[in-house]
C-alpha cells in the first residue's frame, strides 16, 4: 500500500480488502504468543532516556529487541538493533537459545557495521539478556548509554516492536519456516535486501531506511562556501 501511495495512486484499506477478496487472498493470522522478556531479576536497570526525545541524526539512538520464530519443532530467536532515526536494522543475530550471548552477537554486528558511536543511546526492555553484566560492559566499552523501558510498558520500545511485526507479517508467516536452516536462508535476506533497502516508511517520506540515510548524507553541508 505504501508503494501505491508513493506512486500517487489513490488507495485505501477498503479497496485493498475488496481486491484481496476478489483474488481469494486472506490475511495470515498470528501464531501463539511466546514471552521473550524476563524482567524478574536482581540485576541493575537503567532509566528511560528516551521519553519524548526524538533523534535528528543517525547513531544517536539505537533500539534493541528480541523476538521468536516458531518452527515445526521449537523456536528460533532473533535479536536486532535499529537506528531510531532511519529505522534501519544496524545489527542482528539468530540463535536457538534466547541468551545474553545472542544479544551480544547482535550488538557486535551493529558495531562492526556502524563503527564508533560514543554517546549513542541504547534502548531496550528490562529483560535479563540486556541487563546482564556482560552485555552492559560491552555497551560501556563502546561508549553507548544504556536506557530501558518502564516495567510493563511495551510502548516505550514501539519502534522495535513495529519492525518485529513487519518481519512476522511480511516474511515469517508467509514463508512458514519449518527448520532453523530455512530461517537462516530466508530471514537475513529479508532484513538486508528487503526491509533495509526496499521497505517504504511513511514516516521517512516513503523512502526505505537505506534511501533515507543516503539522502541525509547528501544533504549534509560540504564545508565549501560558494558565491
Tens-digit pLDDT profile for residues 17-61: 666 656 656 555 445 445 555 555 568 999 999 887 889 999 999
Residue 21 belongs to a domain: no
CATH number for the domain that contains residue 69:
3.30.420.10
* Angstrom distance (rounded) from CA 199 to CA 208: 5
User: Could you list the residue range(s) of the whole structural domain that residue 174 is in?
Assistant: 61-215
Sheet with 145-148: strands ordered across: 89-95, 75-83, 61-70, 121-124, 145-148
Residue 15 belongs to a domain: no
C-alpha dihedral, 192 to 194 to 198 to 202, nearest 10°? -100
Per-residue pLDDT, averaged over 1-26, amounts to: 59
pLDDT at 117: 96
pLDDT tens-digit series, residues 60-117: 999 999 999 999 999 999 999 999 999 999 999 999 999 999 999 999 999 999 999 9
Residue 50 belongs to a domain: no
Q: Percentage of the chain surpassing pLDDT 90?
A: 69
For residue 98, give the nearest of 64, 66, 69 by alpha carbon: 66
Residues whose CB is less than 8 angstroms from the CB of residue 17 and which lie 6 or more positions away in sequence, other chains included: none
Total domain count, the chain: 1
The mean-pLDDT minimum among 16-25, 121-130, 136-145 falls in 16-25
Residue 139 belongs to a domain: yes
* Angstrom distance (rounded) from CA 199 to CA 210: 9
Residue 46 belongs to a domain: no
Residue 55 belongs to a domain: no
Per-residue pLDDT, averaged over 204-217, amounts to: 94
Write down the pTM of the prediction: 0.79
Residue 98 belongs to a domain: yes
Amino acid at each position: 500500500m505504501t508503494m501505491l501511495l508513493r506512486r500517487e495512486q489513490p488507495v485505501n484499506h477498503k479497496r485493498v480488502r475488496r481486491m484481496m477478496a476478489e483474488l481469494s487472498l486472506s490475511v495470515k493470522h498470528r501464531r501463539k504468543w511466546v514471552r521473550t522478556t524476563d524482567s524478574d531479576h536482581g540485576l541493575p536497570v537503567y532509566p528511560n532516556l528516551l521519553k519524548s526525545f526524538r533523534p535528528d541524526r543517525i547513531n544517536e539512538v539505537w533500539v534493541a529487541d528480541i523476538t521468536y520464530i516458531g518452527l515445526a519443532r521449537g523456536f528460533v530467536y532473533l535479536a536486532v538493533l535499529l537506528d531510531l532515526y532511519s529505522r534501519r536494522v544496524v545489527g542482528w543475530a539468530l540463535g536457538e537459545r534466547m541468551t545474553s550471548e545472542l544479544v551480544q552477537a547482535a550488538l557486535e554486528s551493529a558495531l562492526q557495521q556502524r563503527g564508533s558511536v560514543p554517546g549513542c543511546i541504547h534502548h531496550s526492555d528490562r529483560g535479563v539478556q540486556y541487563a546482564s553484566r556482560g552485555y552492559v560492559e560491552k555497551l560501556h566499552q563502546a561508549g553507548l548509554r544504556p536506557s530501558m523501558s518502564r516495567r510493563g510498558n511495551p510502548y516505550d520500545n514501539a519502534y522495535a516492536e513495529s519492525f518485529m511485526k513487519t518481519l512476522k507479517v511480511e516474511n515469517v508467516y508467509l514463508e512458514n519456516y519449518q527448520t532453523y536452516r530455512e530461517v537462516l536462508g530466508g530471514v537475513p535476506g529479508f532484513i538486508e535486501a528487503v526491509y533495509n533497502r526496499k521497505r517504504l516508511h511513511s514516516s521517512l517520506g516513503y523512502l526505505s531506511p537505506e534511501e533515507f540515510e543516503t539522502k541525509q548524507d547528501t544533504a549534509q553541508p560540504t564545508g565549501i562556501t560558494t558565491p
